[in-house]
Structure 1
Amino acid sequence: MELLRRVADDEVEFIWVMNFDASKRPSARKAEAEDHVSVPRAAQELLIRWDERATFYETRQARPPN
């Protein structure tokens, strides 16, 4: 997993990137059905807004582990 941070104007944006083993990742149909995002109450009190649904991407190229 990676946590990305970007400062833009008067806001700070965070993005979680999670990678799954191809043999263990959910199917595209299952991922779409279960894409609701769970944001803990404590985080909601600090955030202005957040996405209600997860977005899934296909990995096209990955760097090798260190």
Structure 2
Amino acid sequence: MTAKKPAAVVEAQPDEYLEDTRRQKISISVDRDLLNRVDAYAKKHGLNRSALFSIGVSMFMDNELRRRE
């Protein structure tokens, strides 16, 4: 019997992303409540976890860079 991964571990690895050499497969730990919110939002808006995390991190980084200017 294989052990299940905890719901709080997210792997950003959809096959279509792995074909793009600019993308890197990662594994992160995320609070379960946050992950549930991410999944609900992604489903409602036709996104996957990888896309939503990428958008969120990109927006955060852009805001940080602007704040530091």
TM-score normalised per structure 2: 0.24
Bigger proportion of residues as helix: 2
Higher strand proportion: 1
